[in-house]
Amino acid sequence: MNGHEVYERWTILVVEDDEGLNALVRKTLERGGFKTLGAFTAEEALKNLDNNPKMLVILDYKLPDIDGVGFIKEISEQNGKAHYIVLTGQGDEHTAVEFMKLGARDYLIKEANILDYLPETIKRVIREIETEESLRIAELQLKHSEAKYRALVDNLGEGIVVFDDDGNMTFANMAAKALLDLGDSGLLGRNIREFIDEGVFLNVQNIIKRGEFDKLTNMDLTVEASSGDQHEVIFSIVVPMMDESTFNGFIGTFRDITERVRAQREVKYMAQLVDGVSDAIISTNDEFKIASWNNAAEKLYGWKAQEVVGRPISEVLKTEYPDGENSEQTDGEVVQKRKDGSEIIALPAVSFLKEEGKESSGMVVVYHDITDRKHAESELKKSFERLKKVFDSVVDVIGKIVEVRDPYTAGHERQVAKLAVAIAKKMEFSKEQIDAIGIASALHDIGKVYVPSEILSKPGILSRQEFELIKVHPALGFEILETIDFPWKISDIVLQHHERLDGSGYPNGIKGKDILLEAKIIAVADVVEAMSSHRPYRPAPGIEAALDEIAKNRGKLYEPKVVDICIRLFREDCFTL
């Protein structure tokens, strides 16, 4: 931009109460290429002012409506960016100087030849203003650049430090201060020898002097902060500072790898831990190829890690699922083959690895060898089955003892057990509950061994005293069975099998929820079987009469749900005794 273009951007406001001089000054300036505005009073001048930084005021220091000082204050309030030159009369130089102190760019004396040098004076003042503005902008830009690059350096993740030729620190960014635990006051003068070994520093100096800068990157060091904390870092010389062949210092970087080193140690520790456990631990990549194979896996399967890493896990571990599930099964027992072809039984625990954007990143499987346990369980099961056969035989013998004393009820216990078990199954009892009901049913009349046989087989109606003896048999059965350590409440069930919901039963007259559900089932089965069989004192009423009996007393004497299931067994499922 040339000088003429510079001046065209400026507006000259002439404030002079002498109309002739005002017009003459404006005309002279316009011939010189300036844009002008005119005002004869301060009031008019203030109306022409706007917030234009390119406005220069030619001001008569004496105006009819305000003095010069007051007007300058008005200008500053209305347009703080305006510049002005003061016009003074002959002999008023002292006043002009005072105005210069208030911020006037220059002063001119009203003399005959003022118009001769006025344009050049204005141009000079404009050049000075433009130069000052350029310098101000350049200084602001410099400060902005400095702030920007300092912010950039301070916000880098790496520590950046500057050292002189003797290793004294002259600058450190925020990351370096945080790493070395330095405050602003503790920065200058700190020596690199406080953070790294003397021998390392001397080696750095020698390398720089030899120009072997490629050896100054990625040096693993342990530095100690002011707090005493130690950090693992990678130290690099970024810019050696040289003056011809003289070493003047250097700029270096610290990259804190403490967490990485700690993580590597933890990984190593975890690897040792994984290798030390007794379970086989195997990991795969996202293609389910084996990535790791611990010592226990080597011992369990017979394969060395180098033989299987990289191979599909399904190819190495030939796996069968006893329950018929497929290879996507992640729990339950599995049968696998060792390298030598022998079989093992293992219990897997699978954890699928997830990575953002991927369905799966692989998996980790822990196999717990349960081969010996399963073999032991199998032997135990066989022993239990043998023991159960013996137990069932004992129960059967006891039942036959009762039948021998009361031949008219031969088979009664077995029939009651058959019906009670059928009812329990319909009620979806557990196997243990069903076994308990079966045994309790088979032994429910064992107390009758203490009742005289002539009463048990009496063909006529029992006397009151004889019936009272009969009613004692549940309590006698309880006393006999209580001494046996059954895994179920067999003695309690036997004790309660003649109790009724309304409390009219015996021997204790308990009612409702106080009666065990197993006892309620045997009570219904006992009545149905008894009424469908012959007795010495009466012929068999029959199964329909028995079902009518329990239906009639449903909810009064007998448990409603048990009654309903019993009736459905006979009438819908064609159950027979």
394-571 is classed CATH 3.40.50.11030: no
Q: How far apart are the first and last CA of the chain?
A: 122
4, amino acid identity: H
CATH (residue range 272-369): 3.30.450.20
Residues of the chain with CATH 1.10.3210.10: 394-571
Residue 425 pLDDT: 95
219 versus 413: the higher-pLDDT residue is 413
Amino acid type, 509: G
Tens-digit pLDDT profile for residues 161-215 = 888 877 788 888 888 887 777 665 555 667 777 766 777 777 777 776 776 766 6
Whole-angstrom distance, CA of residue 82 vs CA of residue 55: 6
Q: What is the DSSP letter of 252?
A: E
Please give the structure tokens belonging to residue 457: 């087989």
At residue 545 the predicted structure's pLDDT band, cuts being 50, 70 and 90, is very high
C-alpha torsion angle, residues 145, 147, 152, 156 (rounded to 10): 150
d(CA 175, CA 575): 87
Beta strands across the sheet bearing 83-88 = 35-39, 11-15, 55-60, 83-88, 106-109
- How far apart, in whole angstroms, are the C-alpha atoms of residue 49 and residue 12? 11
Average pLDDT, the chain: 81
Give the range among 6-10, 172-176, 221-225, 566-570 with minimum mean pLDDT.
Answer: 221-225
Q: How confident is the model at residue 523 (pLDDT cuts 50, 70, 90)?
A: very high
The yes-or-no verdict on residue 271 having pLDDT over 80 is no
Please list the residue range(s) of the chain that carry CATH number 3.30.450.20: 159-256, 272-369
Residue 187 vs residue 69, higher pLDDT: 69
Burial of 475 (0-12, 13-18, 19+ CB in 10 A): middle
Under CATH, what is the fold of the domain 3-135? Rossmann fold (3.40.50)
Per-position b or e across 74-98, b if 16+ CB within 10 A of its CB: bbeeebeebbbbbbbeeebeebbeb
**What is the distance between the alpha carbons of residues 208 and 163, in angstroms, rounded to a whole number?**
13
Cα torsion 453, 459, 464, 469 to 10°: value is: 20
Cis previous bond, 240, omega within 30: no
CATH architecture of the domain with range 159-256: 2-Layer Sandwich (3.30)
For CATH 3.40.50.2300, the residue range(s) in the chain are 3-135
Mean pLDDT comparison of 400-414, 460-474, 522-536, highest-scoring range: 522-536
Report the predicted TM-score, pTM, of the whole model to 2 decimal places.
0.40
Q: What Cα–Cα distance (Å) separates residue 128 from each residue in 114, 125, 133?
A: 20, 5, 9
